[in-house]
Each structure stands twice: as C-alpha cells, then as structure tokens.
Amino acid sequence: MKKNTLKKVLRYAGHYRFLIFLSMLLAVVCALLSLYVPILAGNAIDLIIGKGEVDFEKVVSILGRIVICVIFISFAQWNMNRINNRITFRVVRDVRKDAFFRLQKLPFEYIDRKQSGDIVSRIISDVDMFADGLLMGFTQLFTGIVTILGTLAFMFYLSYRIALVVVVLTPLSLLVARFIAQKSFNLFKQQSIARSDQTSFVDEMIGNLSVVKAFAHEDENLEIFDEINDRLEDTSVKATFFSSLTNPGTRFINNIVYAAVALFGSFACIAGGMSVGGLTIFLSYANQYTKPFNEISGVITELQNALACAERVFELIEEEPEKADPKETSDEFTAEGNIRIEDVSFAYDKKRPLIEDLNLDIKKGQRVAIVGPTGSGKTTLINLLMRFYDVDGGSIRVDGYDIRDLKRRSLRDNFGMVLQETWLRAGTVRDNITLGRSGFTDDEIIEAAKAAHAHSFIKKLPNGYDTVISENGGNLSQGQRQLLCITRVMLHIPPMLILDEATSSIDTRTEIRIQKAFGRMMQGRTSFIVAHRLSTIREADVILVMKDGHIIEQGNHRQLLEKDGFYAKLYNSQFA
C-alpha cells in the first residue's frame, strides 16, 4: 500500500521534472563543496607543523577559499530550499485540486454515507500533513543521498580499509530506521483517522449548536469529544514516541562508526600511513557520512505520516465517480415538460426496496402534488427526477428522452428547485440570489425579490443587496433564508419546477402571498410540489399519495376526498 501511495506521489512530482533536476543539481553542488571544505581544513592543519613552523601565507589563503566555499554553499542551499518549496506546494496544490474536483464528480451515495468533517479533513488537514512530510523529503533527501555517495567515494580514495569499516557498520543504522518506520506508519494512519473523527464531530456540533443547547446535551457531547480527543492523544503519543526513537537510535550507531574511524585512523597515523591532517579529513567525512543517516531517518519518519495522510487523500481521488454523461447528447436540451415514469424501482440499500413498479404520466403544465407520511419516497422521487440518483429499474422520460441519455447539467437546467433545506454561501445577498450566474440587471433581481416577498427585508439590511451574509446565512432568520432561495428561482424560471416544502419556514401571511406568486410562476410549467401542509396543494391538477414507495391514491383534491381513503384521513386529521 505504501509503495503504491509513493508511486502516486512521485507521479504528481513528475510534472515538475525541471525543478527537481535543478534541486538535485544544487544538492550536488552543496555536497561537493561541503566535501571540499574538510580537504582544505586538513591541508591547513598539515601546514601547522610546530612552534615557529607555520606557513601563515598558505593557511590564510586556504581560509579564504573555505569562506568562499561556505558562501557558495549558503547561496546554493537558499536557492535549493526555494525550489523545494515551490515543488512541494505545487504538488500539494495539484493533489488538493484533484481531490476537490473529484468531490464534485462523486455520486450522492458517497456523500450520504460519509461524514462531511471526514471529507474536509482529507482535503485540508491530511493534505497539509502530507505537505510537511514532502517538503522535508525534498529538502533533506537529495542532499543526504549525494553527501553519502560523495563521502564514500572520497573515503575509499583516502583509505579503502577504513572506508570498508564504515560500510560494514552502516546497515545497522538502516535496520534500526526500517524497524521504527514500519511501526510508526500504522500509528500515523490511526492518528490521521482520529483527527478526521475529531474534525467531523466539531463540524457537526458547530452546525447544530442551537439544538445541542436546547436539549442540554453539552455534557454528553463533552464525553464524546473527550473519548475522541483521548484516542487522538494516545495514537499521537505512540506515533511520536516511535518516530522519536529514530534519531537517537541512528545517532548511537553513527557514533560507533565515528569511534571506529578514529581508532583505525589513529593506528594508520602511528604507522605513518596517514597524516594528522588526513585523519582530520577522514573524521570530518565520517561525520558528514553519518549525519545524513540521522536526517534521512527523520525524513522517513515524517514520510510515514505524510504517506498515511496521502493514502486517505488518494482514496478520495480514486473513488468511483458518478456514471459519465453520454457524449453524443447536446448541452442545449430545452424541455417542454412532458414526463413519463415507467416501472421505476429504486432503493438506497439494495437489501431494502423502497420504490417498486412506479408508473406515472405527467403532461406539460400540470401541477403535481406529492404527499404521504415520512419515509414514503416523496423526496426520493425528486432525487430520481433530478438524477441525483439513477433508477435501479425502469425509466424516467422527459419529452420522450430517457433522462439517463441526457447530460445531468442539461437536465437540471430545465428544473428550478426550492427545498426545505436552504443553502446560502458567504457573500452578498445579490451573489446568493444570482448564485454566480451572470447577465441579470439590478431591476430584474429586485423584481424577483419583490415576487418572492424578500425585497422588504433586504432593504432593511445595512447595505441592502450588497450586505454580506455569513456562511449558510447565519445572520438571517430561517424564513429569510428560504425567501432568498425562492428569489433564486423567481429570477430565472425554467420549464419545470420542484417545490419541496418550499414555504415550511415562512409565516402564514407571507406564505399566502408566496403561494399566489407560485401560482403565477407555475402557469404553463410542469410543477412538482412536495408538501405536508395539505392546504397548500388543493389547487394541484394531480395529487399523488405515496406510502412505502408506492402511489396508493391519485387524483385531484375533490376526487380524493370523495374516495374517503388515506388522503381524506390525512387531510381531515390536519383540519379536525
């Protein structure tokens, strides 16, 4: 799994090959100059033979070259860090963009079964953690590898016997790092899941704080949060503990390597096979050789965290998207409003059927009301009409076209929806009414607001139509939010309308006015009205009474009352 995730990361990084090449080139420059400095230092030491036997002119010259090397190293490292930052955050940008793009293409089944906080955590928190690990990898991995290879080459050149001692002891450091990396990966994955659960819970509580306070559920929520928080603490502490073992473990092995080099080098100096300056160079190389192992082991630990987070992000990116639209159908489909539903069956859970053998024939301009108890399939029918879900069996046809043969966007452009659940985004009132659509004048927007009876309260806002409202209209009442959503539809009325409890949050006086506006709006347009308040649907051409996914009664208001069936009982119970 880790290998596959790493391949995916490298595939994203591969888009920036030139920048990676520059980074590696600068890493080589840094490593070579860093290896050249000990040689200069060793040569300077060999020029200090004893008291009165120092060639100051050459020593000063060598020190000058060391200063120049250090300046070049600093400049190369600064540019390398800039390039690595650019690579990292471009990769992260691409990953986050693909994740958000896939989110727009995912079927409603995925959104319904996942917590919104979990999805937010994957796109925001997990990608941030992934960025931190990736940045450290680019910053230290290249330089470390080049330094190791360069020091080995120089050490074998100076003394292959001592270099062999270093090579023999090196695998101990790698074994320690590998053991710890395997342990820490699973812990970092558990940490990421716990962090996601915490984000989901906090997001849920913020969105429903008024309900929590109304039912005095604060203490119970605190217990749940404490459990998630303790789980996050436990996994974080364990992950950090194992990852923190890497550095001291590899340092211990590296100190053994340094001591062995010093011991064997000393014997070589005594035997005359190496000068003191040469031993200094070798010790410096031994230190430079082992240092990257500490850094790389630290990078590997961070990469475990990064890969654990990346795996969750790639799970989202690789989720199966909703079925693609047919390519041959035109985007410019304009419906007249004739709808035919034939033998439709559908279930959210395939083991528990909901709608079975549903048949319906609706003519252009008819007003169709859908009533029934909770869970009878009213909203499900709307979801199928809009292709939020596709039918399991049968077909839904608009003007003779099977809606599965139409592009979703083209189909939905022919429907205007006002739902019980309002959705407003952070922005001005005008932006929320137009919802990003262009070509509307201020007069048209005001006219639509007047038709929806929203103009009067909008005028009272601090800046009228330019008043900025918070996310989901937090500074407006529920009724005002619903009026803005109604205004959206009034602004551009398509051939077909869906009103799902559209006036449920509006006072009775305003509702009567809006019902009259809806009446004018629905003239000549096929309309679906989902309502619990049966007084709002008496003028409907056809009333469908649904129960357990079936239409059990059908007719207009007068006909259904005369039948004295389920609808009559439902209606009389509201006006008893």
Q: Which helix (H) or strand (E) holds 144?
A: helix 127-158
- Shared-domain flag, residues 449 and 473: yes
Q: Shortest CA distance to 559 belongs to which of 545, 546, 547, 548? A: 545
Strand partners of residue 418: 499
The 10s digit of each residue's pLDDT in 170-199 is 767 667 766 766 677 677 778 878 887 888
For residue 20, what are its two tokens? Answer: 């990676």
439: domain range? 425-493
Number of domains in the chain: 3
Q: Return the HEC string of 76-142.
A: HHHHHHHHHHHHHHHHHHHHHHHHHHHHHHCCHHHHHHCCHHHHHHHHHHHHHHHHHHHHHHHHHHH
Q: How many helices (H) and strands (E) does the chain have?
A: 19, 14
54 falls within a domain: no
Q: Provide the angle, in degrees to the nearest 10, between the axes of the packed helices 56-105 and 276-317.
A: 10
- Shared-domain flag, residues 471 and 514: no
Q: Which pLDDT score, from 0 to 100, does residue 71 have?
A: 92
Distance of CA 82 to the CA centre of its chain: 26
- Shared-domain flag, residues 531 and 431: no
- Shared-domain flag, residues 406 and 474: no
Q: Return the HEC string of 439-504.
A: CCCHHHHHHHHHHCCCHHHHHCCCCHHHCEECHHHCCCCHHHHHHHHHHHHHHCCCCEEEEECCCC
Q: Shortest CA distance to 74 belongs to which of 26, 25, 39, 40? A: 26
CA-based torsion, 214, 216, 220, 222: positive or negative: positive
Give the burial string for 367-387 (b: 16+ CB within 10 Å, else e): bbbbbbeeebbbbbbbbbbbb
Considering 477, 493, 509, which residue would you say is the last residue of a domain? 493
Distance of CA 246 to the CA centre of its chain: 31
For residue 159, what are its two tokens? Answer: 């003394």
Q: Which pLDDT score, from 0 to 100, does residue 463 have?
A: 87
> If you compute the radius of gyration of the chain from its CA atoms, what whole number of angstroms results?
35
Cα(303)–Cα(189) distance, rounded to whole angstroms? 12
- Shared-domain flag, residues 267 and 187: yes
157 falls within a domain: yes
> Average model confidence (pLDDT) for the chain?
80
List Cα–Cα distances, 266 to 23, 148, 170, 281, in angstroms.
38, 23, 21, 13
50 falls within a domain: no
Cα(376)–Cα(386) distance, rounded to whole angstroms? 18
Considering 493, 514, 538, which residue would you say is the last residue of a domain? 493
256: left (phi over 0), alpha (psi -120 to 50) or beta: alpha
CA-based torsion, 342, 348, 351, 352: positive or negative: negative
| C-alpha count within 13 angstroms, C-beta hemisphere, residue 108 | 9
368: left (phi over 0), alpha (psi -120 to 50) or beta: beta
448 falls within a domain: yes
Burial class of residue 318 (count of CB atoms within 10 Å of its CB; 0-12, 13-18, 19+): exposed
For residue 9, what are its two tokens? Answer: 């990361």
Q: Which pLDDT score, from 0 to 100, does residue 418 have?
A: 80
At 442, which CATH number?
Answer: 3.40.50.300
Cα(378)–Cα(372) distance, rounded to whole angstroms? 7
For residue 262, what are its two tokens? Answer: 């010093």
68 falls within a domain: no
Q: Which pLDDT score, from 0 to 100, does residue 252 have?
A: 77
- Shared-domain flag, residues 342 and 447: no
Rounded mean pLDDT for each run of 10 residues along the chain, 576 residues in total = 74 86 86 81 72 73 88 90 86 88 83 77 80 72 77 77 75 70 74 81 75 76 86 84 72 75 75 70 73 66 74 85 69 80 86 82 88 81 87 89 86 82 81 80 88 86 86 74 83 84 70 73 84 75 84 86 86 70
- Shared-domain flag, residues 354 and 452: no
3-state secondary structure of 513: helix
- Shared-domain flag, residues 239 and 347: no
- Shared-domain flag, residues 306 and 292: yes
Cα(178)–Cα(326) distance, rounded to whole angstroms? 50
36 falls within a domain: no
At 268, which CATH number?
Answer: 1.20.1560.10
Report percent pLDDT > 90 for the chain: 2
76 falls within a domain: no
- Classify residue 58 by its DSSP letter: H
- Shared-domain flag, residues 307 and 456: no
Cα(123)–Cα(109) distance, rounded to whole angstroms? 19
Cα(343)–Cα(148) distance, rounded to whole angstroms? 71
- Shared-domain flag, residues 271 and 245: yes
Q: Which pLDDT score, from 0 to 100, does residue 197 have?
A: 83
Size (the chain), residues: 576
Q: Which residues contact 229 (CB under 8 A, 6 or more apart)?
A: 198
pTM of the model: 0.65
Torsion angle of the four alpha carbons 357, 363, 369, 371, in this order, in degrees rounded to the nearest 10 = -10
481 falls within a domain: yes
- Shared-domain flag, residues 434 and 489: yes
Considering 437, 458, 493, which residue would you say is the last residue of a domain? 493
